[in-house]
Structure 1
């Protein structure tokens, strides 16, 4: 791919399997995002919407997997755009895609850390009867999780493969440790109530509109599988079973929505078990696994901006691209991840729906990077030279799968930017659109001032056998 390898590859099959499982954290992440579904769409949306987005995302990841087979590189989408875009626009498109993927992974890191922090806060609210909820408590807990994850990726980086192997076991065992008590002790909803009754608690003009906005939850669980496409079936299955478990054992919806924990899934656990000890143990499993996800996200997010910095696409690229001697990690990129995630967690200080804003910003950034990348491949298939050799190919169906993936992404991206409820105020506004546009403006200013003179795109370094 044109770059000298400077990081040791110390993962094996089992530990890589563990990394891919925890960085996705499919069934774990659907739990804190459950509140989105209860607001827009209801339990029926979680069931049918999950099936719909799983099929749509399969088209997207099939397209991504083929590109990864052509060019297996840490650069991901921005590298593929550089290779497959028309020459006249490949430089700018690749540059923008690099910013999108960098934003997406940095924001997802902050989002998962925020989940851990606020779930921990919710567990405190469950056990301490006179606890007074303050948003800044959640922000401080989030920053503590970020610092812990950063420390693990620096001081204990050499232990990361071992930990991933252990967490893989907990990822599977923890799944059964949660769904079995819910099915055994929880209430039962009728199939009609759970699967056919869509709701509109967001105050939108129609249930259909509410449901399209509510797709944010099942969609978010399935974003990011481009880093390990082969994990899609396993993680989709686990997340789907967890979603089905939640909608059938939900119980009293009023107690769920008014829970003092601000985490509906914690109240579902408690209502089912009627035990503080049992609920604490089940939630502790989720916290441990999401913390492991944070650790893996640090590795992913930092290496993404490190890779982009090697191609001089970011401010301070020369500084960011250096790998500290003896560390075998992009330490400076890790420090940037610490700063960005800590700042994003401060959104919680002024917004009641901070997780939605963070989640939407990360999702939209990654999804648009998918859209640009697949569009470039479609253009290459129709008008350009033949695609490079690959070990895994879509064959004669490639063009149709690519186009179907693009058609699926358009409405998903559009509704991901919407707030969860009306009337829209400053505190419940989905500020992801503002942050997204602001970041792209900064990127374009930097491009005009400096990057257009330095950034060439990774395609200029690729050496392929004829």
Structure 2
């Protein structure tokens, strides 16, 4: 019996290897990275990268300000429907073309011939810069959470008051980036096994946070308050608009479903594992996020007590009210901090692989160096280090202005959403052509077209509100300047295409081999 199992596993491994080899040949790429991720390790990678239940708590201030309790509930549900449509749309495309290049390859292969080269290059730049901003953003979020905990513990009658300085946040940001870099370089071989452990922490941490909030709760909100009481603390002209602005909380919590794709060349049986990993991640994180959201809304106490907290995070006073214990609140915050650091590790891996892939197609300055893969570790170490350096440099902006740093970091959502729109739209075009789309191991079948169209419509609608400030009539400091930064990024990408890409960029479609 044991021999039969061994032979079965060997046969599965052989078939997976053959499929991966066939995929790489069709895509016209040489296998350079080691395929040491399997389903559960890449599932741990993506679920902890998105860290949805943790991010729901961390970014709850946005939703509570614009929409209130009921607004957060219904916006979460509605947003998940649109988000899931986008995820399964990209999962099908990833099954057709499982490559670290991700969206810019998809736009190149399935986009209109006359525009595919430019649109692919633009998509690549947006994806690269979006993931670089994502790493800077998550590191800064961890840093400011540490500062928030210091404010929470050392203020009022504690005898010592923490003296808040922006440069403290910068140093914390650099420290988190350094941890992510060490794991992604010296600990690269252990990363797949580590991700399985982190998946356990992600699920166990959820239970560890959920139980005390329910068990220690001294008082709960009514059903009416949670399900029917809306709030418009941002001062928007209508409650509907307030709720739409507040969708930044779930949107931020779900950013990065394409992460698995950028690790595709390190995953065994990628054309099957990657799409199912994306779907599983969305379902798991969507469910955990909803449960933790409802828990917080029922146990947080009066809304006014958690808005505009001294710590900068509404979940801290909310958890403190639910548990009635500073120790329990610190414990919950510590779990979230650890999980967000784990998320930073995965985001750095994703950012470096996207940079590596784009450089491999000669799209970036110093492409040869950025695309170099270390023969001993079989990872693009230069791209990892450059990604870290970018975050360190961006974090210095915070010393002069937190608002300026937030503007740079917040462009992440708009940039990545734009790449999702372009890639799914290109796939819609491929569907209506006479030849249709190539066969894949994950297919939406006849539902593909309506799901794709709905996904693009939702993404186009949602991206508009990522540019809104938290409150109506904001001051220059409170203004959301991400629209300005996004515009600069677009202009920068166009200039780069004219100066560099038009001459040297090797569009992926030119390397794809047609199959019957």
Question: Please, what TM-score do these two structures have when normalized by structure 2?
Answer: 0.87
Task: Please give the alpha-carbon distance, in whole angstroms, between the structure 1 residues aligned to 2:385 and 2:354.
Answer: 13
In structure 2, what is the equivalent of residue 419 of structure 1?
469
Of 59, 62, 70 in structure 1, the residue corresponding to residue 85 of structure 2 is 59
CA contact (8 A) 2:107 2:422 kept: yes
In structure 2, what is the equivalent of residue 171 of structure 1?
202
Structure 1 position 224 matched with structure 2 position 256: yes
Task: Please give the alpha-carbon distance, in whole angstroms, between the structure 1 residues aligned to 2:72 and 2:401.
Answer: 25
In structure 2, what is the equivalent of residue 243 of structure 1?
293
**1:287-338 deviation line (CA, Å, top 9, x unaligned):** 1111011111111110011111101112221221111332322111112211
Query: How far 1:162 sits from its partner (Å)?
Result: 2.3
**1:243-285 deviation line (CA, Å, top 9, x unaligned):** 1111111113233124322111111122222222222221111
Stretch of structure 1 that moved more, 400-409 or 295-304? 400-409
Task: Please give the alpha-carbon distance, in whole angstroms, between the structure 2 residues aligned to 1:253 and 1:237.
Answer: 24
Stretch of structure 1 that moved more, 347-356 or 100-109? 347-356
In structure 2, what is the equivalent of residue 202 of structure 1?
234
Query: How far 1:351 sits from its partner (Å)?
Result: 4.8
Pair 1:397–1:272, CA change in 2 (3 A): closer
CA contact (8 A) 2:130 2:416 kept: yes
Stretch of structure 1 that moved more, 68-77 or 454-463? 454-463
Pair 1:151–1:189, CA change in 2 (3 A): same
In structure 2, what is the equivalent of residue 375 of structure 1?
425
Pair 1:239–1:358, CA change in 2 (3 A): farther
In structure 2, what is the equivalent of residue 81 of structure 1?
107
Task: Please give the alpha-carbon distance, in whole angstroms, between the structure 1 residues aligned to 2:366 and 2:511.
Answer: 21
Of 271, 274, 288 in structure 1, the residue corresponding to residue 321 of structure 2 is 271
In our comparison, the structure showing a higher alpha carbon Rg is: 2
Task: Please give the alpha-carbon distance, in whole angstroms, between the structure 2 residues aligned to 1:325 and 1:63.
Answer: 35
Aligned residues: 466
Of 41, 44, 49 in structure 1, the residue corresponding to residue 70 of structure 2 is 44
CA contact (8 A) 2:45 2:195 kept: yes
In structure 1, what is the equivalent of residue 162 of structure 2?
131
CA contact (8 A) 1:315 1:446 kept: no
Structure 1 position 463 matched with structure 2 position 513: yes
CA contact (8 A) 1:348 1:354 kept: yes
CA contact (8 A) 2:64 2:72 kept: no
Pair 1:347–1:52, CA change in 2 (3 A): farther
Task: Please give the alpha-carbon distance, in whole angstroms, between the structure 2 residues aligned to 1:154 and 1:361.
Answer: 27
Question: Please, what TM-score do these two structures have when normalized by structure 1?
Answer: 0.96
Pair 1:352–1:321, CA change in 2 (3 A): closer
Query: How far 1:15 sits from its partner (Å)?
Result: 2.1
Aligned positions of 1:16-415 closer than 5 A: 16-129=42-155, 130-186=161-217, 187-226=219-258, 227=260, 228-230=277-279, 231-351=281-401, 357=407, 360-383=410-433, 385-415=435-465
Task: Please give the alpha-carbon distance, in whole angstroms, between the structure 2 residues aligned to 1:41 and 1:342.
Answer: 35
CA RMSD, Structure 1 to Structure 2 (Å): 1.7
**1:172-202 deviation line (CA, Å, top 9, x unaligned):** 1110111111112223111111121221111
Query: How far 1:356 sits from its partner (Å)?
Result: 5.8
| Structure 1 residues without counterparts, runs of 5 or longer | none
Task: Please give the alpha-carbon distance, in whole angstroms, between the structure 1 residues aligned to 2:227 and 2:396.
Answer: 37
Task: Please give the alpha-carbon distance, in whole angstroms, between the structure 2 residues aligned to 1:377 and 1:113.
Answer: 34
| Structure 2 residues without counterparts, runs of 5 or longer | 1-26, 156-160, 261-276
Task: Please give the alpha-carbon distance, in whole angstroms, between the structure 2 residues aligned to 1:358 and 1:36.
Answer: 18
Query: How far 1:210 sits from its partner (Å)?
Result: 1.5
CA contact (8 A) 2:137 2:410 kept: no
Query: How far 1:74 sits from its partner (Å)?
Result: 0.9
**1:377-427 deviation line (CA, Å, top 9, x unaligned):** 222222453211112222122221111112111220111111111322221
Task: Please give the alpha-carbon distance, in whole angstroms, between the structure 2 residues aligned to 1:379 and 1:241.
Answer: 38
